[in-house]
Amino acid sequence: MPDTWEQLKNDCGACRSCPLWETRTNLVFGVGREDAEVLFIGEGPGEQEDLQGEPFVGPAGKLLDTMMAIIGLDRAKVYIANIVKCRPPRNRDPQPEEQAACLPWLERQIALIRPKVIVCLGRISAQALIDRDFRITRQHGQWFRYGEIPIMATYHPSALLRDPGKRPEAFMDLRELRKEIRAVCSSTELYDDSI
Protein backbone atom coordinates (compact mmCIF):
# COMPACT_ATOMS: atom_id res chain seq x y z
CA MET A 1 0.00 0.00 0.00
CA PRO A 2 1.40 3.44 -0.87
CA ASP A 3 2.13 5.68 2.10
CA THR A 4 -0.30 8.51 2.89
CA TRP A 5 0.01 11.60 5.06
CA GLU A 6 -2.75 10.30 7.31
CA GLN A 7 -0.97 6.99 7.83
CA LEU A 8 2.35 8.71 8.41
CA LYS A 9 0.91 11.17 10.96
CA ASN A 10 -0.81 8.34 12.83
CA ASP A 11 2.30 6.15 12.86
CA CYS A 12 4.52 9.05 13.92
CA GLY A 13 2.11 10.10 16.67
CA ALA A 14 2.30 6.61 18.16
CA CYS A 15 6.12 6.43 18.01
CA ARG A 16 7.91 5.26 21.15
CA SER A 17 11.23 4.45 19.45
CA CYS A 18 13.27 6.68 21.75
CA PRO A 19 12.64 8.17 25.20
CA LEU A 20 11.98 11.74 24.01
CA TRP A 21 8.21 11.14 23.78
CA GLU A 22 8.10 10.82 27.56
CA THR A 23 9.19 14.40 28.23
CA ARG A 24 7.68 16.25 25.28
CA THR A 25 4.46 18.27 25.46
CA ASN A 26 3.52 17.94 21.78
CA LEU A 27 4.89 16.07 18.84
CA VAL A 28 6.23 18.55 16.28
CA PHE A 29 5.52 16.76 13.03
CA GLY A 30 6.15 19.49 10.46
CA VAL A 31 4.27 22.28 8.74
CA GLY A 32 3.69 23.66 5.28
CA ARG A 33 2.64 22.57 1.82
CA GLU A 34 2.57 18.83 1.47
CA ASP A 35 3.63 19.27 -2.16
CA ALA A 36 6.28 21.94 -1.44
CA GLU A 37 9.22 22.21 -3.79
CA VAL A 38 11.43 23.60 -1.04
CA LEU A 39 11.97 21.74 2.24
CA PHE A 40 13.74 23.26 5.27
CA ILE A 41 14.98 20.86 7.94
CA GLY A 42 16.05 21.99 11.40
CA GLU A 43 17.37 20.08 14.35
CA GLY A 44 14.56 19.54 16.83
CA PRO A 45 11.79 21.41 18.64
CA GLY A 46 12.64 24.03 21.25
CA GLU A 47 10.44 25.17 24.11
CA GLN A 48 7.92 27.17 22.08
CA GLU A 49 7.72 24.52 19.36
CA ASP A 50 7.08 21.85 21.99
CA LEU A 51 4.29 23.95 23.51
CA GLN A 52 2.67 24.84 20.18
CA GLY A 53 3.34 21.64 18.20
CA GLU A 54 4.77 23.56 15.25
CA PRO A 55 8.39 23.91 14.09
CA PHE A 56 10.25 27.22 14.25
CA VAL A 57 7.71 29.35 16.09
CA GLY A 58 10.09 30.70 18.78
CA PRO A 59 12.85 33.31 18.36
CA ALA A 60 14.78 31.16 15.85
CA GLY A 61 11.57 30.78 13.87
CA LYS A 62 11.13 34.54 13.64
CA LEU A 63 14.60 34.79 12.15
CA LEU A 64 13.89 31.88 9.79
CA ASP A 65 10.82 33.77 8.57
CA THR A 66 13.05 36.79 7.90
CA MET A 67 15.62 34.63 6.09
CA MET A 68 12.91 33.21 3.87
CA ALA A 69 11.38 36.64 3.26
CA ILE A 70 14.75 37.92 2.01
CA ILE A 71 14.33 35.69 -1.03
CA GLY A 72 10.56 36.00 -1.26
CA LEU A 73 9.59 32.77 0.49
CA ASP A 74 7.20 32.18 3.34
CA ARG A 75 5.80 29.25 5.30
CA ALA A 76 2.82 28.92 3.02
CA LYS A 77 5.07 28.03 0.07
CA VAL A 78 7.52 25.59 1.71
CA TYR A 79 7.58 22.68 4.15
CA ILE A 80 9.45 22.89 7.46
CA ALA A 81 10.44 19.84 9.50
CA ASN A 82 13.09 18.74 11.97
CA ILE A 83 15.47 15.81 12.36
CA VAL A 84 13.78 14.87 15.66
CA LYS A 85 10.08 15.43 16.26
CA CYS A 86 10.11 15.58 20.06
CA ARG A 87 11.90 18.22 22.13
CA PRO A 88 15.19 17.12 23.69
CA PRO A 89 15.12 18.18 27.37
CA ARG A 90 16.67 21.61 28.07
CA ASN A 91 17.30 22.05 24.31
CA ARG A 92 20.31 19.74 24.31
CA ASP A 93 21.46 18.33 20.96
CA PRO A 94 19.46 15.27 19.94
CA GLN A 95 21.64 12.21 20.55
CA PRO A 96 22.71 10.00 17.62
CA GLU A 97 20.36 7.19 18.75
CA GLU A 98 17.45 9.64 18.97
CA GLN A 99 18.21 10.97 15.50
CA ALA A 100 18.47 7.47 14.07
CA ALA A 101 15.18 6.47 15.69
CA CYS A 102 13.41 9.53 14.26
CA LEU A 103 14.92 9.65 10.77
CA PRO A 104 12.48 7.16 9.18
CA TRP A 105 9.63 9.66 9.78
CA LEU A 106 11.51 12.38 7.94
CA GLU A 107 12.38 9.96 5.15
CA ARG A 108 8.69 9.17 4.72
CA GLN A 109 7.88 12.90 4.72
CA ILE A 110 10.49 13.50 2.02
CA ALA A 111 9.11 10.60 -0.04
CA LEU A 112 5.61 12.11 0.12
CA ILE A 113 6.64 15.73 -0.47
CA ARG A 114 9.16 14.95 -3.25
CA PRO A 115 10.88 18.35 -2.84
CA LYS A 116 13.09 19.80 -5.55
CA VAL A 117 15.46 21.46 -3.07
CA ILE A 118 16.35 20.68 0.56
CA VAL A 119 17.93 23.18 2.98
CA CYS A 120 19.50 21.92 6.20
CA LEU A 121 19.43 24.44 9.02
CA GLY A 122 22.60 23.91 11.03
CA ARG A 123 25.16 21.24 11.69
CA ILE A 124 22.96 18.55 13.22
CA SER A 125 20.64 18.48 10.21
CA ALA A 126 23.55 18.60 7.73
CA GLN A 127 25.36 15.77 9.51
CA ALA A 128 22.21 13.65 9.50
CA LEU A 129 21.35 14.24 5.84
CA ILE A 130 24.52 15.21 3.95
CA ASP A 131 27.62 13.84 5.63
CA ARG A 132 28.35 12.56 9.13
CA ASP A 133 31.53 14.70 9.15
CA PHE A 134 29.86 17.83 7.75
CA ARG A 135 31.62 21.04 8.89
CA ILE A 136 29.11 23.85 8.84
CA THR A 137 31.71 26.64 8.92
CA ARG A 138 33.49 25.22 5.86
CA GLN A 139 30.71 23.61 3.86
CA HIS A 140 27.67 25.87 4.29
CA GLY A 141 26.31 27.19 1.02
CA GLN A 142 27.69 24.29 -1.05
CA TRP A 143 25.40 21.97 -2.98
CA PHE A 144 25.32 18.24 -2.37
CA ARG A 145 22.79 15.52 -3.26
CA TYR A 146 20.26 13.71 -1.13
CA GLY A 147 19.56 10.91 -3.57
CA GLU A 148 18.66 12.95 -6.64
CA ILE A 149 17.65 16.05 -4.69
CA PRO A 150 19.97 19.07 -4.43
CA ILE A 151 20.68 19.77 -0.76
CA MET A 152 22.61 22.53 0.99
CA ALA A 153 23.15 23.63 4.56
CA THR A 154 23.23 27.08 6.02
CA TYR A 155 23.67 28.31 9.57
CA HIS A 156 20.91 27.52 12.01
CA PRO A 157 18.91 30.67 12.84
CA SER A 158 19.76 30.13 16.54
CA ALA A 159 23.45 30.30 15.62
CA LEU A 160 22.77 33.56 13.75
CA LEU A 161 21.00 34.95 16.83
CA ARG A 162 23.99 34.04 18.99
CA ASP A 163 26.56 35.29 16.48
CA PRO A 164 25.20 37.99 14.14
CA GLY A 165 28.67 38.18 12.58
CA LYS A 166 27.76 35.04 10.61
CA ARG A 167 24.76 36.69 8.97
CA PRO A 168 26.58 37.94 5.84
CA GLU A 169 27.64 34.34 5.08
CA ALA A 170 24.08 33.12 5.59
CA PHE A 171 22.93 35.89 3.27
CA MET A 172 25.24 34.54 0.55
CA ASP A 173 23.80 31.05 1.13
CA LEU A 174 20.31 32.43 0.62
CA ARG A 175 21.39 33.90 -2.70
CA GLU A 176 22.64 30.46 -3.73
CA LEU A 177 19.35 28.98 -2.64
CA ARG A 178 17.40 31.50 -4.65
CA LYS A 179 19.50 30.68 -7.72
CA GLU A 180 18.81 26.95 -7.33
CA ILE A 181 15.09 27.49 -6.74
CA ARG A 182 14.92 29.49 -9.94
CA ALA A 183 16.77 26.71 -11.77
CA VAL A 184 14.83 23.67 -10.57
CA CYS A 185 11.46 24.75 -9.16
CA SER A 186 8.45 25.49 -11.33
CA SER A 187 5.69 26.54 -8.89
CA THR A 188 7.67 28.36 -6.18
CA GLU A 189 7.46 32.04 -7.01
CA LEU A 190 10.09 34.32 -5.52
CA TYR A 191 8.91 37.89 -5.50
CA ASP A 192 12.02 39.61 -4.21
CA ASP A 193 14.71 40.65 -6.66
CA SER A 194 16.48 43.02 -4.35
CA ILE A 195 19.49 40.94 -3.28
In degrees to the nearest 10, what's the CA dihedral of 87, 29, 83, 19?
A: 40
* Touching ligand URA, residues 109-138 (CB under 6 A): none
Biggest distance spanned by C-alpha atoms of the chain: 49
Asked if 43 interacts with ligand URA (CB under 6 A), we say yes
Q: How far apart are CA 47 and CA 6, in angstroms?
A: 26
Least Å distance, CB 55 to ligand URA, is 3
Asked if 94 interacts with ligand URA (CB under 6 A), we say no
Asked if 56 interacts with ligand URA (CB under 6 A), we say yes
Measured from the CB atom, the residue of 13 and 192 that comes closer to ligand URA is 13
Angle between helices 167-184 and 59-70 (to 10 degrees): 50
Applying CB under 6 A, which of residues 49, 50, 98, 180 lies at the interface with ligand URA? 49
Of the candidates 120, 116, 160, the residue with the CA atom closest to the CA atom of residue 141: 120
Applying CB under 6 A, which of residues 30, 32, 55, 94 lies at the interface with ligand URA? 55
Q: Which residues of this chain interact with ligand URA, rule CB under 6 A? A: 42-46, 49, 55-56, 60, 82, 158
